[in-house]
Amino acid sequence: MRNVGIVGIGSYVPENVVTNLDLEQFVDTKDEWIVSRTGIKQRHIAPKDMPVSELCYQAGLRALEDARIAPEDVDLIIVATITPDYAFPATACLVADRLGAKKAAAFDLEAGCTGFIYAVATGSQFIASGTYKTVLVIGGETLSKILNWKDRSTCVLFGDGGGAAVLQQVEEGFGFLSFELGSDGSGGSLLSQPAGGSKCPASSETVEKNLHTLQMEGKEVFKFAVRIMGDVSLKVLEKAGLIKEDIDLLIPHQANIRIVDAAVKRLKISPDKVVINLDKYGNMSAASIPVALDEAFQAGLISEGDIIVMVGFGTGLTWGACVLKWTKVGIKND
């Protein structure tokens, strides 16, 4: 089995920024309330005519440029999203066409905010087994398009964005050291978009009842997240034969500052080792971890050989984590 790592990263967010003060103009909420309970100060919102495929394309293009890999050399594209352009065809197919990745297989993966971790774990197996050489993984969301902007308990939390990673074989001892994935479908109703699928097809009634918008039981999701973030981080470290003191950088899903703080407390690691950017972007679901990873690298926070733990949770309910020993040097197998 080949060692697999990230040899290129990139991200993209829409230009339009909506601050908490902006939200005060049309939502019954206050900046102080949002910041104190979530840590979010602003978020980026895509224009009405900008689909998630555009965010994914821009992030994927940047990741390929960073890796110095031509689109025609990509073997597989996986897009993790819960806000695809269409129910079908897959957004990944649209992105592959836009990029000019003529020989790439492509499919979407749905695991909510855990989507990027699930997608990286999936893409890695194709390379580890020798099936493919280069896999482009993208996490992208336009959650603003499925929000009920009259529901102050949810609409203040989310933002739009895309993040991407190019996977290839790397030297032994580097790359992904372990993965830990999980799910609990009994909690599926806690975070969902009830209408639009085969169980509850679109109708005038579903539209009137706002069933095509995001629905969340906030308190229950919070309790689940606080517990699972620390648990899965410890499990994935154990799988890699490491301990929490070995962590150089923790990149958690950017959902809520209180959830992140609880995970940091459980792991007993220095806050200086934790990447937090939710104040700027809010919860971008599958895009949050890759965007944070890209920003951390661009800021010079990641060095060769660093041990990075990425961990997330999301609708499903799902959760996942991975341990990555950082290198961006791939092995070319002709």
For the annotated catalytic residues, the residue numbers are 113, 253, 283
| Closest among 198, 190, 199, 196 to 211, alpha carbons compared | 196
Alpha carbon separation from 111 to 35, 199, 294 (Å, rounded): 27, 19, 21
| Closest among 246, 269, 250, 259 to 310, alpha carbons compared | 250
Both tokens of residue 78?
A: 């996986």
- By residue count, the chain amounts to 334
Q: What proportions of the chain, in percent to the nearest 5, are helix, strand and coil? A: 40, 25, 35
Alpha carbon separation from 247 to 151, 241, 244, 310 (Å, rounded): 38, 12, 6, 11
Measure the N-to-C terminal CA separation of the chain; round to a whole number of Å: 17
Query: Residue 104 half-sphere exposure, CB side, CA atoms within 13 Å?
Result: 28
| Closest among 30, 123, 80, 107 to 253, alpha carbons compared | 80
Which value, in Å, is the radius of gyration of the alpha carbons in the chain? 19
Do 311 and 252 contact (CB within 8 A), yes or no?
yes
Alpha carbon separation from 114 to 6, 255, 308, 315 (Å, rounded): 18, 11, 16, 8
C-alpha 211 chain-centroid distance: 24
Q: What angle do CA 54, 160, 168 make, to 5 degrees?
A: 60
Residues 6+ apart with CB under 8 A from 300: none
Q: Cβ atoms within 10 A of the Cβ of 111, count?
A: 29
